[in-house]
Amino acid sequence: MSLDKSALNQTKLRWGELDEDDGEDLDFLLPPKQVIGPDENGIKKVIEYKFNDDGDKVKITTTTRVRKLAKARLSKKAVERRNWAKFGDAVHEDVGSRLTMVSTEEILLERPRAPGTKVEETKLPGDNLAQLGKGGAVLMVCRTCGKKGDHWTSRCPYKDLAPQPEGFIDKPAAADNAAAAAGATKGAYVPPSMRAGAERTGGSDMRRRNEENSVRVTNLSEDTREPDLLELFRTFGQVSRVYVAIDQKTGVSRGFGFVNFVNKEDAERAINKLNGYGYDNLILRVEWATPRSN
DNA sequence: TATGAGCGA
């Protein structure tokens, strides 16, 4: 929009209607802007001069109160989230004590070494250490449950019930209380089954919960990896292991894998929900796995 | 196409 300047000058100048960029900016005629404060009370004054709509020079004093400290400003939603009930390991935390926590959940992604790589085996002459184990099944003592000659520690059916690392930062205080109540000396080991909240089952009939509840997933796309499977299955319950079969030569997925659940019911729900589920343009097949032979 | 690697006291 362009104004007829001569007409404008005949009446009063209407500065406010002038375009900023047409070179008619007369602000340089005005005294500079002044800022006073903020003082110790957080009061800040800004004095500036402007032309008003009628072309008169006016002084504008703005008084504001500023925050003394730049305190984090929470959005309404963030405030709302702070009121949510804590869940998981965080239920033992005081309200508002910590906003985030590291998950203590441990999930095994089976990838001992990159597919296609070989272990360098350097055998020293006269090294007969391997022979020592021959015919000596007694050497095979599970470090978790103590059973001899049945399985190695890593295959222990009670592996999931193994002690948590001592002094763990997120260990609920309840465990310590239970130890004290049981008359144990301070710092003494409390078996998981004896800790507060552990379900009491008949001693000999502990619930097996490791290699069981194995679910086979077939018709996976080539680029589905273990983390993808974990993401897909963890919504049904605690997953203890995820495995995707990889061709050792080519390194590509063989299109099937396994997911182990801690709880059988969760595995069952996953099978019901995910069998026939479309994933990466393929229809998944999800069913119970037959135990691996070994 | 189709039921898993690896390590030992």
Kindly provide the b/e burial profile for residues A54-84, where b requires at least 16 CB atoms within 10 angstroms of the residue's own CB. eeeeeeeeeeeeeeeeeeeeeeeeeeeeeee
- pLDDT of A167 reads 40
Lowest-confidence pick of A71-75, A161-165, A213-217: A161-165
Positive/negative CA dihedral, A266, A92, A160, A198: negative
Mean pLDDT of A103-111: 69
Q: Where exactly does CATH 3.30.70.330 map onto chain A?
A: 210-288
pLDDT tens per residue, range A174-199: 444 444 444 444 455 554 544 554 44
User: Is a pLDDT exceeding 90 seen at residue A14?
Assistant: no
pLDDT at residue A24 tops 50:
no
pTM of the entire predicted model: 0.45
Q: Which DSSP symbol is given to A155?
A: G
Q: How far is the CA of A112 from the C1' of B9 (A)?
A: 20
The values of phi and psi at residue A78, to 5°, are -65, -40
**Within its chain, how far is the Cα of A223 from the centroid?**
23
Q: What is the CATH number of domain A210-288?
A: 3.30.70.330
- Which is it for strands A253-261 and A214-218: parallel, antiparallel or unpaired? antiparallel
Shortest CA–C1' contact from A155: which nucleotide?
A: B7
Instruction: Report the side by side order of strands in the sheet with A34-36.
Output: A34-36, A43-51, A57-65
> What are the distances in angstroms from CA A271 to CA A210, A214, A218, A231, A268?
18, 11, 12, 15, 5
> Residue A84 above 60 pLDDT?
yes
A152 CA vs B7 C1’ separation (Å): 9
Euclidean distance between CA atoms A281 and A138, whole angstroms: 51
Question: How far is the C-alpha of A260 from the C-alpha of A107, rounded, in Å?
Answer: 10
- A76/A263: higher pLDDT: A263
Per-residue model confidence (pLDDT) at position A122: 45
Please give the Cα distance from A55 to A183 (Å, whole number). Answer: 89
- Among A35-49, A102-116, A147-161, A249-263, the minimum mean pLDDT is found in A102-116
Q: How many angstroms is C1' of B5 away from CA of A274?
A: 26
Q: How confident is the model at residue A102 (pLDDT cuts 50, 70, 90)?
A: low
A158 CA to B2 C1' distance (Å): 30
Q: A224-272 pLDDT, tens per residue? A: 999 999 999 999 999 999 999 999 889 899 999 999 999 999 999 999 9
What's the mean pLDDT when you consider all of chain A? 69
Tell which strand B nucleotides have any atom below 7 Å from a protein Cβ.
1-9
Query: In this structure, are residues A44 and A2 in contact, taking their beta carbons and an 8 Å threshold?
Result: no
User: Which secondary structure element, helix H or strand E, spans residue A259, and what is its range?
Assistant: strand A253-261
pLDDT band at A103 (very low <50, low <70, confident <90, very high): low
Mind listing the pLDDT tens digit for each residue in A160-179? 665 544 443 443 444 444 44
pLDDT reported for residue A95: 66
* pLDDT tier at A111, thresholds 50, 70, 90: low
Do you find a cis peptide bond into A112, omega within 30 degrees of 0?
Answer: no
Residue nearest to nucleotide B5 (CA to C1'): A112
Q: Given CA atoms A63, A65, A69, A73 in this order, what sign does their dihedral have?
A: negative
